């Protein structure tokens, strides 16, 4: 396991920002840490990266306890903090040298050139950081996080504030990096985890509310039911639809189109088609209505139960 978090709590004054959080991340996984603002994402990441001590609980990175072995742990971790604090007065190469020196990176000139190439900073590498766009500043942030070749990367909202093109570029760069390193990235945007992460941990008010493969997120709340959008070739009565076992509601969308609510994950397509056929009516189209990502997120972050 790259990261093991056991029962971590963090109290700021009277506020409990983390409330007994546990999860573990195997090596070479790209994990999204998703939650609304104030959920505790940055706090958790500061604890993993040894910038904050936990109030309770235990965190280990590659088998090393963050409290007992903080110097070794920092060498294993690359960290891009939330607001990417860069030295704006420095030139890109100068800054990467400066960070590389702190870590005692051998053959630093070569390493800086490699990093510039790796994150696609080439055309901007001669500039001062203050002259760079937000997207290029994030590339500098990623380069500094990777300069000492860490095993684990912790990226706190790495795409916030980027324009749509920069967003796509930085996401694909993170995906690339994830092929060789363990990456944990935080975000408050559900689309982001779908685009980059194979696993998603959702945190809300200091509690983990979901921890599953990203591909299972949409189906994960299937217990709440799903909806079919169906268009028939002729008029169907609502009562005929409601008679089908498993249908909990039917709403006419105009003409012969209906939105049919179905309990759980049961497949009623055949039953619906047969009912129509008995009335000599055909099904013109039928599709499962995907829950909107926002709806799933809302459902998970307003539920109290652990999942």
Q: Does 39 bind ligand ADP (CB under 6 A)?
A: yes
The CB-of-31 to Mg ion minimum distance in angstroms stands at 16
- In the bound state with ligand ADP, the residue whose beta carbon lies nearer, of 38 and 57, is 38
Residue 41 engages ligand ADP in binding (rule: CB under 6 A): yes
Q: What is the 3-state secondary structure (H, E, C) of 236-283?
A: CCHHHHHCCCCEEEEEECCCCEEEEEECCCCCCHHHHHHHHHHCCCCE
Nearer to ligand ADP, 8 or 296 (CB): 8
Residue count of the chain = 307
Residue closer to ligand ADP by CB (options 125, 196) is: 196
207 binds, among Mg ion, ligand ADP, none (CB under 5 to 8 A by kind): none
**127 three-class SS:** coil
Q: At closest approach, how far in Å is the CB of 72 from ligand ADP? A: 25
- Establish if 80 lies at the interface with ligand ADP (CB under 6 A): no
Compute the least distance from the CB of residue 160 to ligand ADP, in Å. Answer: 11
- For Mg ion, the closer of residues 42 and 214 by Cβ is 42
* 12 vs 98 by CB, closer to ligand ADP: 12
For the CB of residue 200, give the shortest distance to ligand ADP in the complex, in Å. Answer: 15
Which DSSP string do the residues of 156-187 spell out, in sequence order? ESTTTT--HHHHHHHHHHHHHHTTTSEEEEEE
Least distance (Å) between residue 240 CB and Mg ion: 52
38 binds ligand ADP (CB under 6 A): yes
How far is residue 268's CA from residue 290's CA, in Å, rounded to a whole number?
16
Q: Residue from 32, 35, 141, 150 that binds ligand ADP (CB under 6 A)?
A: 35
What distance in Å separates the CA atoms of residue 211 and residue 5, rounded to the nearest whole number?
13
Binders of ligand ADP in range 2-21 (CB under 6 A): 12, 15, 17
* Residue 32 binds ligand ADP (CB under 6 A): no
Alpha helices in the chain (DSSP H): 41-48, 70-76, 92-102, 108-118, 134-146, 164-177, 190-196, 238-242, 269-278, 293-302
- Give the tokens for residue 79: 């960290």
Contact 7, 21 (CB under 8 A): yes
**Which two structure tokens, joined as six digits, stand for 249?**
């509601």
Binding-site size for ligand ADP (CB under 6 A) equals 11
For ligand ADP, the binding residues (CB under 6 A) are 12, 15, 17, 35, 37-43
């Amino acid at each position: 396991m790259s990261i093991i978090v056991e029962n971590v709590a963090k109290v700021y004054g009277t506020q409990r920002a983390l409330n007994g959080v546990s999860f573990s991340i195997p090596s070479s996984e790209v994990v999204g840490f998703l939650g609304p603002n104030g959920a505790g994402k940055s706090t958790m990441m500061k604890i993993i990266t040894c910038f904050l001590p936990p109030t309770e609980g235990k965190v280990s990175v590659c088998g090393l306890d963050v409290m007992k072995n903080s110097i070794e742990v920092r060498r294993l971790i690359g960290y891009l903090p939330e607001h990417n604090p860069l030295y704006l007065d420095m030139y890109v190469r100068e800054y990467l040298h400066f960070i590389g020196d702190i870590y005692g990176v051998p053959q630093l000139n070569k390493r800086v050139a490699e990093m510039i190439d790796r994150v696609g900073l080439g055309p901007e590498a001669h500039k001062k950081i203050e002259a760079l766009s937000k997207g290029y500043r994030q590339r500098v942030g990623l380069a500094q996080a990777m300069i000492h070749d860490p095993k684990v990367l912790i990226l706190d909202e790495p795409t916030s504030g980027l324009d749509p093109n920069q967003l796509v570029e930085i996401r694909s760069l993170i995906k690339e990096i994830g092929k060789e390193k363990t990456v944990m990235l935080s975000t408050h945007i559900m689309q982001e985890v779908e685009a980059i992460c194979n696993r998603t941990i959702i945190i809300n008010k200091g509690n983990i509310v979901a921890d599953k493969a990203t591909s299972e997120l949409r189906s994960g709340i299937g217990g709440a039911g799903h909806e079919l959008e169906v268009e028939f070739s002729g008029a169907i009565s609502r009562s005929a639809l409601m008679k089908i076992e498993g249908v909990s509601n039917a709403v006419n969308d105009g003409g012969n189109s209906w939105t049919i609510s179905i309990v759980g994950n049961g497949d009623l397509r055949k039953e619906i088609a047969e009912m129509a056929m008995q009335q000599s009516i055909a099904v013109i189209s039928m599709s499962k209505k995907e829950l909107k990502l926002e709806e799933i997120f809302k459902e998970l972050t307003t539920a109290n139960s652990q999942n």
